[in-house]
Structure 1
């Protein structure tokens, strides 16, 4: 695995983790239904943690599938010679995500309207699965709920697809989904402590600046060559001394 791919996976993981506050806003009501509104007698002997894991596994699977689909589109655009355009859009979206994570600009949420038509078709089927009583039911519900319109998810999708490879895009979306797990799995006092930690201004701004810098690096231009040369200098020096 290349160092660049590792950096991209860590970026996707951080986006999911730091975007957890937004995830609570989007999925918090449903998670509340899973954790509070289902009496133990109605769970048919299944521990709550299994229902939560199954729901989140379905949700992350839908992110991964979407990554593969949109990544295939990115591959097609690369084939048409539009890879620089796609990378430019991805870089700008990364910068927008950084601004969103730092609470400096919330315009990212405006793109959520893209998927509202599809969600109107999916939501009735998802609602019929409530109340959740079995892991299989929770898995299916999560798979459907993963298509809920979300600006953060959509932006990460477009960024992941800019690599022009369906497998890489799917892998990045898997990492993003895993990053959202701690916030959505935590309950009660643990959820409050985790949310408070993620809302610390110093943490959010530090992470946001890293995402913005990664977005600037993603933008096509002569600055990329300069950055690569700077990063390769230590390695070249080590080989020379060796």
Structure 2
């Protein structure tokens, strides 16, 4: 992967970091269950947390590879600009959601509920996860939970027009969620209280909103790239 893709990978990682609070809303209960699955006071729950999050991130990368094929199929057609515009608008919607200004993105999450109905019974069989392999498999299934944030970044990564790069971007996004997810799983309610502060949510929302606006196809991207090369 060329050096030109490093900013995109960094952006994907940052989107995961900023959206970590939203991830806790989706997976926080399961993280607590994993912490309680191990014997108390023996410090054995952190391998389960790592295994779960590794499985979850790998499922994001798989989704990126699959949906990246869509971007590859339209890479040299006008449909790619449409795909990129839709992806940017979803990121704008995600920013508004994170900031608490608009919750319309939750309607998009309904699109994935059909698949989740088939996967949820399988995930229940793995609870309580007491081994690393169980936690890994549980994370791999839980990564397909309907989530507006994942859908937004997934469409953005697919709009790059390359399946392998789409998978890499989703992997970077998933790794970006790790600090918050692991810290919360280990530190508990203290981290969760910080992430729920309105100022923190608004700051994250504004940054994602700004990234979505910047991602919209248009002359502004050429102006910024030209300015950077000129300096």
Q: TM-score normalized by structure 2?
A: 0.88
Match of 1:68 among 65, 68, 72: 65
Q: CA deviation at 1:194?
A: 3.0
Cα displacement string for residues 162-198 of structure 1 (whole angstroms, at most 9, x for unaligned residues) = 1011111111111111121122222478343433443
Structure 2, unaligned runs of 5 or more: none
Alpha-carbon distance change, 160 to 200 in structure 1, aligned in 2, over 3 angstroms: same
Aligned-residue RMSD, C-alpha: 2.4
Task: Return the offset for 1:124.
Answer: 0.6
Instruction: Write the deviation string for residues 130-156 of structure 1: whole angstroms up to 9, x where unpaired.
Output: 121211111111111111111111111
Q: Kindly tell me: are residues 107 and 209 of structure 1, through their superposed partners in 2, closer, same or farther at Cα, counting changes over 3 Å?
A: same
Q: Secondary structure at the match of 1:226?
A: helix
Give the CA deviation at 1:110. 1.5
Quote the residue 2:151 is aligned against: 154
Cα distance in structure 2, aligned partners of 1:203 and 1:187? 15
Whether 1:29 aligns to 2:26 is: no
- Paired with 1:32 and 1:86, the residues of 2 have a C-alpha distance of 37
**Aligned match for 2:56, one of 41, 59, 82:** 59
**Corresponding pairs, count:** 230
Q: Partners of 1:97 and 1:5 in 2: how far apart?
A: 23
Q: Please give the residue correspondences for 1:82-121 in structure 2 after superposition, counting only pairs within 5 Å.
A: 82-121=79-118
SS in structure 2 of the partner of residue 164 of structure 1:
coil
| 1:198 alignment partner in structure 2 | 195
The one-character-per-residue Cα deviations of 1:187-223 (angstroms, maximum 9, x if unpaired) are: 4783434334434555544443333333223222222
Corresponding residue of 1:237: none
The range that moved more, 147-156 or 77-86, is: 77-86
The change in CA–CA distance for 1:208 and 1:165 in structure 2 (over 3 A counts) is same
Partner residue in 1 for 2:175: 178
Given that residues 13 and 176 in structure 1 are in contact (C-alpha distance below 8 angstroms), is that contact kept between their aligned partners in structure 2?
yes
* 8 Å Cα contact 2:88-2:215 kept in structure 1: yes
Q: Equivalent residue for 2:125?
A: 128
Closer/same/farther in 2, CA of residues 131 and 195 from structure 1, 3 Å limit: closer
| 1:186 partner SS | helix
What displacement does 1:2 show?
5.6
Q: Give the C-alpha shift of residue 8 in structure 1.
A: 2.2
- Could you say which structure has the larger radius of gyration? 1
Gaps of 5+ in 1: 235-242
Distance (whole Å) between structure 2 residues aligned to residue 106 and residue 183 of structure 1: 22
Query: Relative to 1, partners in 2 of residues 1:194 and 1:147: Cα closer, same or farther, differing over 3 Å?
Result: same
Question: Would the aligned equivalents of 2:88 and 2:212 in 1 still touch at CA under 8 Å?
Answer: yes
TM-score (norm 1): 0.85
